[in-house]
Amino acid sequence: MNKPASLRAHLAAAMPELATDPERMLVFVEDGSLISTEQPNDSFELRYRLSLVLVDFVGDAARLFLAVLRWVRINQLDLIAHPDRWGELAFEVDVIDHERADVQIRLPLRERIGVTVDANGAEQVTPWPEPKFDVTVWEP
């Protein structure tokens, strides 16, 4: 799975305060499913809920949410482009005091994995890029 590490790296780059104490940025993969594509090859798909927990977060929540949305735009566009998916990108905030909060962000994610065999018979297992969506199709 590449998306959990990708999200962590993106947030650390977008918000340097998260990079200074990476132990406070926890990532969990929950409710995972392994989906066969039923194609002639063994390619498959991973579907799961990623739960990002920021412990003792001190910062601008709007900047955090903007950074998450920018990552989603590149890595899971259907979450924000399709009206039927709106609301699946969720969060909870546990306010600790006037400066700190624990923030949990939940994203339903999908990763497509391609399985091919090269000319020498060696099997290659490779993450496939995200499909490109025609966003105009989903405009309300």
pLDDT number for residue 137: 47
Task: Report pLDDT digits (tens) over 53-84.
Answer: 999 999 899 999 999 999 999 999 989 888 88
**pLDDT for 134:** 56
CA 57 and chain centroid, separation? 19
Distance CA 57, CA 93 (A): 10
The position carrying tokens 């929950």 is 30
* Ordered DSSP codes for 1-66: --HHHHHHHHHHHH-HHHHS-GGGEEEEEEEEEEEE--SSS--EEEEEEEEEEEEEE-S-HHHHHH
Q: What is the pLDDT along the chain (140 residues), one digit of tens a residue?
A: 899 999 999 999 999 989 888 899 999 999 999 998 777 778 899 999 999 999 999 989 999 999 999 999 999 998 988 888 888 999 999 999 999 999 999 999 999 988 888 899 898 888 877 766 555 544 44
Per the CB < 8 A criterion, the answer to whether 54 and 103 are in contact is yes
Distance of CA 96 to the CA centre of its chain: 26
Flag whether the pTM goes above 0.85.
Answer: no
